[in-house]
Amino acid sequence: GHVTVLDHPLIQHKLTIMRNKETSIAGFRRLLREIAHLMCYEVTRDLELELIDIDTPMAPMKSPAIKGKKLVFASILRAGNGLLDGMLDLVPAARVAHIGMYRDHETLEPVEYYFKAPSSLEDRLIIVVDPMLATANSATAAIEKLKERGANNIRFLCLLAAPEGIKRFTEAHPDVPVYTASIDDHLNEKGYIVPGLGDAGDRMYG
Ligand code: PRP
């Protein structure tokens, strides 16, 4: 699997403020949305264009537009919605899948409680978003489910990843490229990313 660390200075700077425990819920939420804009820009930079016919007020012309079916953004709840909001600012016509998943605090196994996706997932680019890739249990399960529904062109976007999660994820889904702002040091015994930023869901929603 291919892993890209998005090292744009604005992304790195905003991430530092998000990691700081003094940053408020309001600040955290706004920063996540801003980072999502920058990450969305990076993760879509290689999309294929095609020329379409339009009429400007002056003349007809052929002008570039993104080729193929509408993108799908798949958010792993809850924290994925923080990234989703920013992604939708840039791609307002994207279709959206919601995948409700929480980690059992004892076993760290993902528990699915909601799944709703657009009916046709085949031959669409699906960008799965979740700020944290810790054990990768949640993301791995979410993507298995999307594949069962026909998804065949998937990318995974997160803010922070643990090396353990990257390893597990790329073994489970070698066809899914990963984009992250940072690969942190390690996972602790409770499955939290260290140094990380704490629990993204709690920092965004309380
Ligand atoms: C967090 C995070 C990911 C998951 C990552 O969600 O947002 O979804 O854990 O961990 P994993 O890679 O070990 O599966 P959490 O279970 O805390 O749910 P929440 O977002 O609803 O708070």
Domain range annotation of the chain: 3-205
CATH 3.40.50.2020 fits 3-205, yes or no: yes
Banded pLDDT at 108 (limits 50, 70, 90): confident
Alpha-carbon distance of 118 to 196, in angstroms, equals 32
| Percent of the chain scoring above 90 in pLDDT | 95
Alpha-carbon distance of 78 to 203, in angstroms, equals 11
The mean of the pLDDT values for the chain is 97
The residue type found at 201 is: G
Structure tokens at 53: 């016919």
Run of H or E including 169: helix 163-172
Q: Classify residue 33 by its DSSP letter.
A: H
ipTM above 0.90, yes or no: yes
- Whether residue 1 has pLDDT greater than 80: no
Q: What is the mean pLDDT of residues 50-77?
A: 97
Phi, psi for residue 7 in degrees, rounded to 5: -105, 20
Alpha-carbon distance of 105 to 201, in angstroms, equals 14
Structure tokens at 172: 């489970």
Alpha-carbon distance of 48 to 1, in angstroms, equals 21
3 state SS of 108: coil
Banded pLDDT at 105 (limits 50, 70, 90): confident
How many angstroms separate the alpha carbon of residue 101 from the centre of ligand 1?
Answer: 7
Contact residues for 48 (Cβ-Cβ < 8 A; gap 6+): 66, 67, 68
The atom of ligand 1 lying closest to the CA of 137 is 14
Q: CB under 6 Å to ligand 1: residues?
A: 76-79, 101-103, 108, 110, 130-139, 165, 191, 199-201
pLDDT at position 103: 87
Residue 86: count other Cβ atoms within 10 Å of its Cβ.
20
Q: What is the mean pLDDT of residues 10-31?
A: 98
- Rg of the chain taking only CA atoms, in angstroms: 17
Residue 200, CB half-sphere, CA atoms under 13 Å: how many?
A: 29
* CA-closest residue to ligand 1 atom 2: 132
